[in-house]
Amino acid sequence: MRTQRDIYGNLNNEVLHQANKGVTINEIHNVYQPPKSLQQQWAAHSYHGSEEHNSRAVINRYLGYWDANPATLIPLSPRDSAPLYVEMMGGAAKIMAKGKELHDQGKYREAMEILNKLVYAEPTNQAAKDLLADVFEQIGYQKESPSVRNSFLAAAYELRSGIPGGASPKSSGPDTIRAMSTDLWLDFLGIRLDSKKAEGMKFVVNIVTPDNCEKFVVEMSNCVLTNIKGVQAKKPDLTITINRSDLEPVMMGTVTLDDQIATGKAKLDGDRKPYDQLKGVLVQFTPDFEMMPGTKAAQPTSPPAMSPFQQQEPGSSAGM
């Protein structure tokens, strides 16, 4: 217990000590080290976190993500900056040769620095991706923290083989969605909103769920969908009345809201247009976006066949 207390105390205090000496969020992971007395105790090792990650997190908590250098305030995206570096370094052949040399010398982080630029500049260059994967693998093997190690090894796999195909894993079931609060569901609809398609839309909708006595006002304004619990607009464009128990199968996708309207379990009062507009601007997410360039399948995954208001099963954050 004392070791746990001291490692987190040292992490917090020493990182802030270094920050007060001018060490930035982009440097602290190369500067912070626990004292030897803690390094020698297994309970202070990086089995469930990492010094590199957590030291940066401390600075981010107190000072934010920016290191105060204007050059890093609005940097180019990697796909835009990488071609400049590759051109100035003399092209892919020279970078590959130097990267292989650094790899063979065991200077993996130096090799990673230049090869990552090449892969972003040339995402179809499989030789470059394979060499960067070799580098990631060696760095991963050296890491004690499972989360850090797996980050490198997973990226190495995807660089060599692409993003794994098949169905996305499901870590929850209908009970999880049923347990979601209505306002949380409405919040997620706001996240799923395609703001480009919602340009110019403006409406106010009241939602009433009589069986649990909840009321919401939902507003579309400036391409943003917001909701307030316990409030009703005096002059809404539309009022939707549906029992929470009848809304849950809509959230789970076993029926559509239109089905509930047709059977009388949901009632629309006012102008139906906002309801139809909202249905048309909601998107379903697919988890096949790439984190490393050139790893996504040539044929993108189609969005799942889901009704507009269906809530996709959230992933588990339990760490199991």
Q: Are 281 and 198 in contact (CB under 8 A)?
A: yes
Neighbours of 133 (CB within 10 A): 23
What's residue 319's pLDDT? 46
User: Residues 181, 275: one domain?
Assistant: yes
Q: Which H helix or E strand runs over 206? A: strand 203-209
Structural domain includes residue 290 = no
Q: Which of 119-123, 205-209, 222-226, 300-304 has the lowest mean pLDDT?
A: 300-304
User: Residues 84, 66: one domain?
Assistant: no
Structural domain includes residue 246 = yes
User: Above 60 in pLDDT, residue 115?
Assistant: yes
User: Residues 274, 195: one domain?
Assistant: yes
Q: At what angle do helices 2-19 and 51-63 cross, to 10 degrees?
A: 60
Q: Are 2 and 37 in contact (CB under 8 A)?
A: no
Tell me the C-alpha distance between 4 and 300, whole Å: 45
How would residue 302 be classed by pLDDT, with cut points 50, 70 and 90? low
Q: Are 53 and 30 in contact (CB under 8 A)?
A: no
User: Residues 92, 9: one domain?
Assistant: no
Give the three-state DSSP class for 208.
Answer: strand
| 128-181 residue pLDDT tens | 999 999 999 999 999 999 999 999 999 999 999 998 876 665 545 678 888 899
Structural domain includes residue 301 = no
CATH number at residue 155: 1.25.40.880
Based on the structure, what is the number of domains in the chain?
3
User: Residues 110, 85: one domain?
Assistant: yes
Tell me the C-alpha distance between 38 and 71, whole Å: 37
User: Residues 180, 270: one domain?
Assistant: yes
User: Residues 180, 275: one domain?
Assistant: yes
User: Residues 202, 268: one domain?
Assistant: yes
Domain that holds residue 220: 174-280
User: Residues 20, 62: one domain?
Assistant: yes
How would residue 309 be classed by pLDDT, with cut points 50, 70 and 90? confident
**For residue 105, what are the CA distances in angstroms to 239, 270, 274, 305?**
69, 72, 63, 51
Structure tokens belonging to residue 160: 């060599």
What's residue 255's pLDDT? 93
Tell me the C-alpha distance between 121 and 163, whole Å: 19
User: Residues 180, 151: one domain?
Assistant: no
Which of 107, 135, 161 terminates a domain? The answer is: 161
Structural domain includes residue 305 = no
User: Above 70 in pLDDT, residue 118?
Assistant: yes
| 82-109 residue pLDDT tens | 999 999 999 999 999 999 999 999 999 9
| 36-50 residue pLDDT tens | 999 999 999 988 889
**For residue 84, what are the CA distances in angstroms to 72, 102, 184?**
16, 21, 44
Structural domain includes residue 201 = yes
User: Residues 88, 61: one domain?
Assistant: no
User: Above 60 in pLDDT, residue 75?
Assistant: yes
How would residue 301 be classed by pLDDT, with cut points 50, 70 and 90? low
Which of 70, 100, 126 terminates a domain? The answer is: 70
CATH number at residue 254: 3.30.1050.10
In b/e form, how buried is each residue of 177-200, taking b as 16+ CB within 10 angstroms? Answer: beeeebeebbebbeebbeeeebee
Identity of the residue numbered 56: R
Structural domain includes residue 251 = yes
Tell me the C-alpha distance between 178 and 158, whole Å: 35
Structural domain includes residue 30 = yes
Which of 19, 44, 70 terminates a domain? The answer is: 70
Structural domain includes residue 195 = yes
- More confident call, 288 vs 15: 15
User: Residues 120, 93: one domain?
Assistant: yes
